[in-house]
Chains A and B, each alone.
Chain A
Amino acid sequence: QKEVEQDPGPLSVPEGAIVSLNCTYSNSAFQYFMWYRQYSRKGPELLMYTYSSGNKEDGRFTAQVDKSSKYISLFIRDSQPSDSATYLCARSGGSNYKLTFGKGTLLTVNP
């Protein structure tokens, strides 16, 4: 089983919708979770990161970790066409400086 699983989508929503992007992970060790956004033909950019459990909010974006179910989520409120991109989840493992990435979910927000 891959350490981080992510539904590849694609996901298509109307402008203004609430978007939920999800990943599951298998390793329960100490770790941080990250969300990256990648526009077409560009490098991934870090959106936000959270510790092993709890929520973190940044504007229209909320990252959530459910440690009991090993589930991580990114919620986008009031989605905009400019949010159309591939979203990648990732985890780090304490002192291990490598990240484990999901394969990414392609999101399209239609005007």
Chain B
Amino acid sequence: DVKVTQSSRYLVKRTGEKVFLECVQDMDHENMFWYRQDPGLGLRLIYFSYDVKMKEKGDIPEGYSVSREKKERFSLILESASTNQTSMYLCASSLGGGVGEQYFGPGTRLTVT
């Protein structure tokens, strides 16, 4: 059974704090993704990684960075959290090639006050 886990379900941080969101997948997938999801805006891709230490910017990378030191783990970093980064953050993974279906984690609801 496919499994993507995220480090926290709910997180509350203060403006200016550095925030780490971690994602782990146990399916040996090459690709990993970070999205944010906001009402009326749908899923927006922040960053993705197609291999260890490889990353590419998605549609809204500003204010975020990522790290992928091991194949199974993909971290999203908010260098200096701001209130407009309050959102639901979703991690996903997929095999390289093929259909390209992505498997999602349960999400982290981040509130920045």
B96 neighbours in A (Cβ, 8 Å): 97
User: Which listed residue, B31, B50, B99, B105, touches A43 by the CB 8 Å rule?
Assistant: B105
User: Is the beta-carbon distance between A88 and B43 smaller than 8 angstroms?
Assistant: yes
Q: Is A65 an interface residue (CB 8 A)?
A: no
Cα distance A104–B58 when bound, in Å? 20
User: Is the beta-carbon distance between B100 and A99 smaller than 8 angstroms?
Assistant: yes
User: Is the beta-carbon distance between A92 and B41 smaller than 8 angstroms?
Assistant: no
Binds B, one of A11-19, A44-52, A56-64, A69-77: A44-52
Cα distance A41–B88 when bound, in Å? 8
A45 neighbours in B (Cβ, 8 Å): 104
Shortest C-beta distance, A80 to chain B (Å), equals 23
User: Is the beta-carbon distance between A92 and B100 smaller than 8 angstroms?
Assistant: yes
Cα distance A97–B47 when bound, in Å? 13
User: Is the beta-carbon distance between B100 and A41 smaller than 8 angstroms?
Assistant: no
A34 neighbours in B (Cβ, 8 Å): 99, 101
Contacts A41-B107, A42-B106; is A101 near B42 (CB within 8 Å)?
yes
Residue of A nearest to B6 (CB): A43
Cα distance A92–B98 when bound, in Å? 10
User: Which listed residue, A43, A96, A102, A103, touches B40 by the CB 8 Å rule?
Assistant: A103
Cα distance A45–B97 when bound, in Å? 20
Shortest C-beta distance, B37 to chain A (Å), equals 9
B33 neighbours in A (Cβ, 8 Å): 98
Contacts A97-B31, A97-B94, A97-B97; is A46 near B103 (CB within 8 Å)?
yes
Closest 7 CB pairs of A and B: A103-B42, A92-B100, A43-B104, A101-B43, A43-B107, A32-B99, A44-B104
Q: A8-B40, A88-B42, A96-B100 are in contact. List 9 more A-B contacts (CB 8 A).
A: A41-B88, A41-B107, A43-B4, A44-B104, A46-B101, A97-B31, A97-B96, A98-B100, A99-B102
